[in-house]
Amino acid sequence: MLCKNRKWDNWIGYAMVALGVVSFLYGLLTYLIIQPEGKADNTLLGMFTGFGFGIICVAIGFTIRQKLASPKKLEQDEIERNDERNIAIARAACTVGMITAMIVFVILAFVFMGMGLITPSYLCIIGMYLMIIATKITQKILEKKM
């Protein structure tokens, strides 16, 4: 299973650091080069910069923790992460989160339609369909691996 593969954890860590660096640099460089005048543009670029910086800080903190923690503690964490009960709890939590997000997308789609904003409404509906498709594809892949 993917959740038991250590290489998967490393790949996700590298991907998150890359996402943080790209987001941070995009927000910062776009602000410095273009110098937007609108408040919404400034806010969006600030969010990109802050989001990227936050991910980079979390990655650095996790790396320091991995280096300073005792091997016994790291081994215990690995055992807890691979415990079937914890995996089942995490999957149940993800399922509840997905259903909650789908309900929020539906509510937002109706609110946007009521406000006369068709494009955001379509984006909410597209996001909902993508979430359903990704869930079904993942379910089929995991069923084949079981």
Considering its fold, how many domains does the chain have in total? 2
At 16, list the tokens.
């998150």
Main-chain dihedrals φ then ψ at residue 28, nearest 5 degrees: -70, -50
> Which domain does 73 fall in, by range?
1-82
Assess whether pLDDT exceeds 60 at residue 2. no
Q: Which residues contact 73 (CB under 8 A, 6 or more apart)?
A: none
pLDDT digits (tens, 9 = 90+) for 33-69: 888 888 888 888 889 999 999 998 888 888 787 778 7
- 3-state SS, residue 5: coil
Together in a domain, 63 and 131? no
pTM: predicted TM-score of the whole model, two decimal places:
0.56
Cα separation of 122 and 112, whole Å? Answer: 9
Say what the pLDDT of residue 63 is. 78
Which pLDDT band holds residue 75 (cuts at 50, 70, 90)? Answer: confident
Check pLDDT > 60 for residue 3. no
**What pLDDT score does 43 carry?**
87
Is 95 found in the same domain as 76? no
With beta carbons less than 8 A apart as the criterion, state whether 75 and 29 touch: no
pLDDT digits (tens, 9 = 90+) for 82-103: 778 888 888 888 888 888 988 9
- Are 7 and 77 contained in the same domain? yes
CA–CA distance, 104 with 106 (Å, rounded to integer): 5
